[in-house]
Structure 1
Amino acid sequence: MRSLTNIFQLGIKELRSLSRDPALMLLIVYAFSLSIYSSATAVPEAPFRATIGVVNEDPSPLSYRILDGFQLPYFVPPEPITHAQMDTGMDEGLYTFTLNIPPDFQRDLLGGRQPAIQLNVDATQVSQAFTGAGHIQQIINSEINTFLQRYRGQDALPVEAVVRMNYNPNLDRSWFGAVNSVIDQITMLSIILTGAALIREREHGTIEHLLVMPITPVEIMIAKVWSMGLVVLLASAFALRFVVQIWLDIPIAGSLGLFMLGAALHLFATTSMGIFFGTLARSMPQLGLLIILVLIPLQILSGGMTPRESMPEFIQDIMLAAPTTHFIELAQAILFRGAGLGIVWPQLLALAVIGGVFFFIALSRLRKSLN
């Protein structure tokens, strides 16, 4: 009972110390609110009211059919221009895209030749140019294929593949970006907060006070793990409920309770990593450098940015030792596909084992540093 009381009181002390640190409090609020929103909406899915000028040198039904394909809200109505206005219009920022349809375009196409349509893109308009060029190419190809099928009297294929998207029917990138951002913030904040808690003890001189008290390194470590893990767990629950579901209006397919269970096991591992880094670093700048060196590979190689199946097999095998690999797989299965306990129990078990290993490694290092 005395040990449990010590752990509880030390954890309360950590929460009070965190509440008096405005920089870390601001980081928590930003990471689980504006950072998630910006990650979900930073890259637009499609151009919005993009300006386009067209030099139409082939007044044929096909060319007008192509121009009719540029519809609001993706594109403003195409504006007829001349060759002289193409460069000047883009230099002055009047057009993000300019299109040049060559003479006899329809006749050459029906004659079996391969005429080219010139598309100029103002790359300084990054948000529009990044997605707009692909949309324009898709519109042109779709209209040309439809025109050729009707002109040549081609019937539809006897077999048609009907694709249905699960969870995200419109392939809205913000749905994936918001949830993946929450997953990344859980890992990042848990490592930063626990590492900073140990560094703060050393910088403020309170680590010596702890050493003369009748408490053990195990109690010190467990107190930091449960207190900082609780902060991140509550912040992530708030982010999923109010930022993802209400603010961004993104549905969650699975059980939030099961996800919180997986997040708690993941926090057991990552907070232990934070303690370990806190014993290695002697100041907050050193801790930041250590976290950067570890966090970026974890996020890139764990399957959050790139599917693990596309990585070399030896990388996949190595990353099985990282808790982020199993947590990302678990989180995506629950939040995207609505998986239950019967599907994600291997990931839960792996997180528990990895967390235990990391905990004892960090505890051993903490004992040496305190001695």
Structure 2
Amino acid sequence: MRFSFANIYRLGVKELWSLVRDPMMLMLIVYVFTVSIYVAATAMPESLHNAPIAIVDEDGSPLSARIVSSLYPPRFKTPQMISLAEGDKGMDNGEYTFVLDIPPNFQRDVLAGRTPVAQLNVDATLMTQAFTGSGYIQQIVSGEVNDFVRRYRSSPNQPVDLVLHMRFNPNLEKSWFGSLMEIINNVTMLSIILTGAALIREREHGTIEHLLVMPVTPAEIMLGKVWSMGLVVLSGALVALVFVVQGALNVPIQGSVALFLLVAAVHLFATTSMGIFMATLARSMPQFGMLLVLVLLPLQMLSGGSTPRESMPELVRDVMLAAPTTHFVAAGQAILYRGAGLDVVWPELLILLGIGGVLFFAALARFRKTISQNA
């Protein structure tokens, strides 16, 4: 396999100019690396943020005041103190998601060793927020009551004292996970789309026949598409990391951005080759889109980015070891979340190189067969 670097460079520049003349594809690139990442980080449905809560304090004791003060932003809005009659009306109007009713003599019954009942009314139409928030409120109320009781009567020492230490994400901010995983997923998605669309666009416009009569080889044509589309995706990922993740979302990146881009570049070698291979199978953009859905969803859902690989069946884990996304997600999370260096991620880097090489030569063989049929 012989190729000229000058030909590869010129063919790549041709692809970049073709992309510049495609406004819809440019809009997709901008959206994927800006709005899509911001929305994925800030619109996570399972997060509890500024939930409206009201409290009916029928006890008016120091313990009830302590419970009220423990419910504060950002998980909850500042509690509104209302009367018992206002609770049902406020929930009917959608003003409150939670209404906590602290009954009379609550503190007295707690100190007397009795078990008083505090009522929590929940608007379950907001199902995810209601489920998460009710659990938080139960933990908060139980914790405040236990701390209050210890001041008035002795309690036996617990045999084990569990001290929690949250590493890498101390406040359990889900936006940190959502934004970075969206970049990792979008790198895969966009690299396949751009390279596949570039090949199908040439076939539809008839320019593939022009390439066949030029002194260029199929390997040079493929490498031109790989480096040009890979450069576009890599530049978009860098812009997203700097301006969206770190700038707009204030998400700290623990590791080296340069090392992440190196791993992403090797990963792009595999996914752009995959995009070319899929484009040789499809006859039009609609067919390519349907094929993309069948391939992309398993790559993203079973790579360990959405759910831990340890929770998957053993057969799925073994099969997904052949997918480049599995190793890219593992290396990306290690670098961006845990600050891992090259000494940690080098096995994933080598595996990505091997998978990329296999995919490239498989795509090249298919591409040669396709253009020979056109000739």
TM-score normalized with structure 2 length = 0.90
Distance in 2 separating the partners of 1:115 and 1:35: 48
Q: Partner of 1:33 in structure 2? A: 34
Deviation string 1:173-228 (CA, Å, 9 cap, x unpaired) is 22222111111111111011011111111121212222222322212111111111
Deviates more, 1:71-80 or 1:182-191: 71-80
Counterparts of 1:15-164 in structure 2, within 5 Å, are: 15-43=16-44, 45-48=47-50, 50-72=51-73, 74-82=76-84, 84-102=85-103, 105-106=106-107, 109=110, 114-124=115-125, 129=130, 131-154=132-155, 157=158, 160-164=161-165
Deviates more, 1:252-261 or 1:55-64: 55-64
Is 1:366 aligned to 2:367, yes or no? yes
Give the 3-state SS of the residue equivalent to 1:306 in structure 2.
coil
User: What amino acid is the match of 1:230?
Assistant: L
Q: Partner of 2:260 in structure 1? A: 259
Q: Does the Cα contact within 8 Å between 1:67 and 1:78 map onto a contact in 2?
A: no
Deviation string 1:66-86 (CA, Å, 9 cap, x unpaired) is 23322355322332222x433
Give the deviation of 1:317 after TM superposition.
Answer: 0.9
Give the deviation of 1:150 after TM superposition.
Answer: 2.8
Deviation string 1:295-317 (CA, Å, 9 cap, x unpaired) is 11111111111111122222111
Is 1:12 aligned to 2:13, yes or no? yes
Q: Partner of 1:227 in structure 2? A: 228
Q: Does the Cα contact within 8 Å between 1:327 and 1:347 map onto a contact in 2?
A: yes
Distance in 1 separating the partners of 2:151 and 2:297: 52
Counterparts of 1:184-333 in structure 2, within 5 Å, are: 184-333=185-334
User: What amino acid is the match of 2:236?
Assistant: A
Give the deviation of 1:108 after TM superposition.
Answer: 5.5
Deviates more, 1:38-47 or 1:24-33: 38-47
Compared CA separation, residues 120 and 283, structure 1 to 2 (3 A): farther
Distance in 2 separating the partners of 1:112 and 1:298: 56
Distance in 2 separating the partners of 1:131 and 1:256: 34
User: What amino acid is the match of 1:260?
Assistant: L
Q: Partner of 2:183 in structure 1? A: 182
Give the 3-state SS of the residue equivalent to 2:299 in structure 1.
helix
Deviates more, 1:201-210 or 1:99-108: 99-108
Deviates more, 1:263-272 or 1:292-301: 292-301
Deviates more, 1:114-123 or 1:90-99: 114-123
Distance in 2 separating the partners of 1:287 and 1:40: 29
Deviation string 1:102-132 (CA, Å, 9 cap, x unpaired) is 4554565556665543322234557864643
Q: Partner of 1:3 in structure 2? A: 4
Distance in 2 separating the partners of 1:297 and 1:7: 32
Deviation string 1:49-95 (CA, Å, 9 cap, x unpaired) is x432334454554334323322355322332222x433322121222
| Structure 1 residue ranges without an equivalent (≥5) | none
Distance in 1 separating the partners of 2:160 and 2:135: 27
RMSD between superposed Cα atoms in Å? 2.5
Q: Does the Cα contact within 8 Å between 1:47 and 1:132 map onto a contact in 2?
A: no
User: What amino acid is the match of 1:76?
Assistant: T
Q: Does the Cα contact within 8 Å between 1:195 and 1:277 map onto a contact in 2?
A: yes
Q: Does the Cα contact within 8 Å between 2:90 and 2:96 map onto a contact in 1?
A: yes
Compared CA separation, residues 246 and 71, structure 1 to 2 (3 A): closer
Compared CA separation, residues 305 and 2, structure 1 to 2 (3 A): closer
Deviates more, 1:135-144 or 1:183-192: 135-144
Distance in 1 separating the partners of 2:312 and 2:134: 29
Distance in 1 separating the partners of 2:188 and 2:339: 22
Compared CA separation, residues 207 and 249, structure 1 to 2 (3 A): same
User: What amino acid is the match of 1:118?
Assistant: Q
User: What amino acid is the match of 2:17?
Assistant: R
Give the deviation of 1:263 after TM superposition.
Answer: 0.7
User: What amino acid is the match of 2:292?
Assistant: I
Compared CA separation, residues 116 and 362, structure 1 to 2 (3 A): farther
Percent identity (aligned): 62
Give the 3-state SS of the residue equivalent to 1:305 in structure 2.
coil
Give the 3-state SS of the residue equivalent to 1:265 in structure 2.
helix
Give the 3-state SS of the residue equivalent to 2:121 in structure 1.
strand
User: What amino acid is the match of 1:286?
Assistant: Q
Deviates more, 1:13-22 or 1:203-212: 203-212
Distance in 2 separating the partners of 1:307 and 1:167: 17
User: What amino acid is the match of 2:64?
Assistant: S
Q: Does the Cα contact within 8 Å between 1:254 and 1:335 map onto a contact in 2?
A: yes
Q: Does the Cα contact within 8 Å between 1:229 and 1:264 map onto a contact in 2?
A: yes
